[in-house]
Amino acid sequence: MARLLLIRHGQASFGADDYDALSELGHEQARALGRVLAARGFAPGLVLRGTMRRHEETLDGILEGLGASIPLVTDPGWNEFDFQHVVEIHRPSFRDRAAMMAELNLSERPDRAFQEVFDAATLRWSSGGHDVEYAESFTAFRDRVATALKEVSTLLRQHRDILAVSSGGPIAMAATLLTVGPEAPATLWAALNRVSVNTGVTKVIAGRSGLSLSTFNEHTHTETAPGLLTYR
């Protein structure tokens, strides 16, 4: 059977001027995963990624760890939804980055404070009751990921194994679509998205009946060194 490994990007730079750039830890997470995949003998015939900087830098680190040069395809269908836009619609004051950081820093755990705002913002977005306010509705996001899955299914017929780098939102949506389908409640997607680990590995198997989810968010490679396991 052909295999698709969906990889969430490494830790990005929360609170920095460019969130999309990987942190130093994010780079090491990617290299660590590449080394583990190499030790397992995983040799993809194609690598695929979204078009975001964190996807590109994560894939570069994985390939460095793998010690391999592999043909590349990019697909914006695997890009993350614009969570900053979603958060700003819910909390307009966060359009001012300085104001956002000042508010978050009032908390002992700014990352957890942001997560609470993020959860409320995505709940509103995914409810479907305010679609006209968003550049990309939750339904449009779901359909975009469904299309990306169809396209990668075609690629799997040509390449036995594919490694793809994406983000937590699209990977959680892919898992939701492959297990329940488009009728799944948004709460399932939200629950999967919330527990996604940086450089977590989700395995999809391509068989005669189509694509099937095999594993979700596997991250034993983050146990190779202290501090590699992160969620943000």
Amino acid at 120: A
pLDDT tens digits in sequence order for the chain, 232 residues long: 899 999 999 999 755 556 789 999 999 999 999 999 999 999 999 999 999 999 999 999 999 999 988 999 999 999 999 999 999 999 999 999 889 989 999 999 988 999 999 999 999 999 999 999 999 999 999 999 999 999 999 999 999 899 999 999 999 999 999 999 999 999 999 999 999 999 999 999 998 889 999 999 999 999 888 899 998 7
pLDDT on residue 231: 87
Q: Are 55 and 26 in contact (CB under 8 A)?
A: no
Question: If you average pLDDT over every residue of the chain, what do you get?
Answer: 94
Whole-angstrom Cα distance, residue 59 to residue 50? 10
pLDDT (tens digit per residue) in 98-150: 899 899 999 999 889 999 999 999 999 999 999 999 999 999 999 999 999 99
